[in-house]
Structures are given as C-alpha cells and as structure tokens.
Structure 1
C-alpha cells in the first residue's frame, strides 16, 4: 500500500488554494541548459542496436478522483507517477487541466513547450498551465526510480493525459 509522506498529504489538502502561488523551486544548472546529464538510451535485448531509442515508460496510479463540489464541471484528481530507472514519458498534453507536480523521490527533468528543460529533485515542484504541451519528462537516473505526486484540476470527464500521436 502506498503511504504518502506528510508534506505531500498537506500539499494535496491545500492544492486548490496553494497552486496559484506555486512556482518552480529549482534553479537551473549548467546541465539543464546543455542537457549534459541526459541519460543514454538503453537498448532492448529484442531490438537491434540501431533501434536503441526505446526507454521504459512511466506508470500512473490514481489516488483520488472527485468532482469539486463548489466548482461546477471541474474534477480534482491526484495521482502517483512512477518512473523506473532511465524512464521517460512520451510528449503529451493534459487538455485544459491545471497541473501541479511534486517530486516524492528521485530526480525528474521536465520541459514544457516554449520553456527550457528544468531538473527537479525530491521535495521540489512545478505547475503546468491549462493547454500546456509537455515535451519531455525524464527520470535522470539510470539506476534509481523516481516518483511524482501529480494533481489535476480538470474538466469533468476529460482525460487527464493524452499522448502525442506516434510519428
């Protein structure tokens, strides 16, 4: 059973009030600007070396999904997103949802369209405005998992994640 750390539980309870004032807590490093610590692709045993661009993907587990009683048409959804070592999410969008992400464990590099990539460590957070295009989400470690608490305020009935079409 997932046991939520006390700071994360407090974040969930106050997310509707607190997210308006949230801003990324991490400072950019030289590696963020250059991509120098980007993990190398991991080859699959079943795939030829030339196709060594496959990475493990993330797993999303819903903790709570509930319509907001005082905001008609909006739903609060909290999730935990687990990233195995060297995992990355495909580019995606969250529709018109307001998104709050908090790093529970590990280190995540994230990039939204029109913004530089940023690296977030355990205890740091960021927000995504409605309509944002998430270009990259990467567990920067090749050996350790990473875990996020992600909270969505979305249109009721709308999917909370839509992957970009495969090219």
Structure 2
C-alpha cells in the first residue's frame, strides 16, 4: 500500500512538473507568483582613458581623452557628464545619439558633435548589429569631477 501511495505521489508530482515546464514562460506560475521572463540587456560600451592632464593655463580644469568602444548593438545607459564640455568624434562605425530636448542624430565615421556642460545624453548606441563602433571623446572638466554619471535605474 505504501509503495502505491509513493508511486501515485511521484506520478502526480511528475504531471505537475511537466505541465509547468510545457506552459509558456509568461503563463507559468508557482504558488500564484508568475515566473519572470528573462530580458536580455544589450551590451554596453567600454571606456579607455588615453590622456588625463590638468590644463596648465586654466586653473582647476582638466583635459581628458578617451576611446569609447561599442560592440555590435551596444547601447550606453542614459547619462550626464556633469559640468564637462564634451567633444565626440566617430573613429569607426555609426553611432545614434540624442541629447535631451534635441532630435535623434546618426553620426558616421569622420563626423562629430559637442555636448554642453550639464547636457543629458538620453541615447547613445551602435546602429550595427554586426560591426563595432568607436568614438574619440574629449572632456574639458573641473579637476576631480566624475566624467560620466549614469541615470539611476527606474
């Protein structure tokens, strides 16, 4: 009798497991709590500092140059560059960019843009799904300021 109950219990557990496994991800539930579908995040950019140097003739200001590399389909989180003046030049690929209050622009190799101090950079992304993109970015900032501050997650 015990073996029959045990076998029945295994059969019931197996049927429940199979029905949960076969249900679409968005409809699966465990104790009335939906199982969240995993959302993959696009890859992000990487920053490599080339030069950081105090400006000798402008007290309290620093010149910084960086290479910003975007793998295919990479997107930067919305961010600001504090009080820094920013110059960006596309070394490779194509980058879509938008500052708050402005329209989206697409920049190709050899093109450039500037960002005034305090600008909110709401979009920066590599438009290609197969080719990398690369920027040379120059900052003139207050010495000691952070050069990139991502928006807090929502």
**How does the TM-score come out when normalised to structure 2?**
0.75
The one of 66, 87, 90 aligned to 2:77? 90
1:1-167 equivalences under 5 Å are 50-167=37-154
Unaligned runs of 5+ in 1: 1-47
Q: State the alpha-carbon separation in 1 of the partners of residues 137 and 95 from structure 2.
A: 13
Q: State the alpha-carbon separation in 1 of the partners of residues 58 and 118 from structure 2.
A: 19
Q: State the alpha-carbon separation in 2 of the partners of residues 53 and 112 from structure 1.
A: 25
Unaligned runs of 5+ in 2: 1-34
CA-CA distance at 1:51 after TM superposition:
3.9
In 2 relative to 1, CA 118–49 (structure 1 residues): closer, same or farther, beyond 3 Å?
farther
Could you say which structure has the higher strand fraction? Answer: 2
CA-CA distance at 1:52 after TM superposition:
3.2
Select the structure of larger CA radius of gyration.
2
* Number of residue equivalences: 120
Q: Deviations over 1:133-158 (max 9, x none)?
A: 00010000000000000000000000
CA-CA distance at 1:53 after TM superposition:
4.9
Runs of 4+ in 1 over 2 A off after TM superposition: 48-53
**How does the TM-score come out when normalised to structure 1?**
0.70
Q: State the alpha-carbon separation in 2 of the partners of residues 158 and 152 from structure 1.
A: 11
